[in-house]
Amino acid sequence: MVPLSYYLVLSAILFACGIAGFLIKRNIITIFLSIELMLNGVNLSFVAFAAQLNKLEGHIFVFFVMVVAAAEAAVGLAIIIAVFRTRETLNVDRVNLLRL
């Protein structure tokens, strides 16, 4: 059997990698992938605590996080497509004006 803290450490490492990718990367799609990585890290700690406390509510929360992440991915990728149509770039440093 695996101790709880191992799961929490893995979840923290995934979350930290997500934050680092969010800040370091300049490609808008990779930044979006880093957000998904952070969400996955949080989901892991939800499931680990659900097993620790023997409560199923953690699994329900993971389900809702996944639903919101799917909705966010659909809308976010649509925004990326719209940005790419007008700017012809995916680099966030080149997207620095609200107007066209």
Partner 1 sequence: MLALILFFIFALLCVGGAINLLVQKHPINSALSLIVVMGSLALIYLLLGAEFVAAVQVIVYAGAVMVLFVFVIMLLNAGEEERLPHGSRVATMLGVPALIIGLGIAAAVVSHLAGLDRIAIGGPTVMNGENVFGNPQAVGHLLFREYLLPFEVTSILILVAIMGAVVLARREEE
Considering only residues 66 to 95 of the shown chain, the ones binding partner 1 according to CB under 8 A are 66-75, 77-82, 84-85, 90-94
Burial pattern 51-61, b for ≥16 Cβ within 10 A else e, equals eeeeeeebeeb
Question: How many Cβ atoms from other residues are within 10 Å of residue 68's Cβ?
Answer: 11
Nearest approach, Cβ of residue 90 and partner 1 (Å): 5
The secondary element (H helix, E strand) that includes residue 79 is helix 57-87
Cβ at position 9, least distance to partner 1 in Å:
5
Question: Per CB under 8 A, which of residues 12..51 are in contact with partner 1?
Answer: 12-27, 29-30, 32-34, 36-37, 40, 43-44, 47-48, 50-51
Does 2 help bind partner 1 (rule: CB under 8 A)?
Answer: yes
Question: Residue 17 or residue 99: which is nearer to partner 1 going by CB?
Answer: 17
**Which one, of 54, 41, 56, 39, lies nearest residue 8 by Cα?**
41
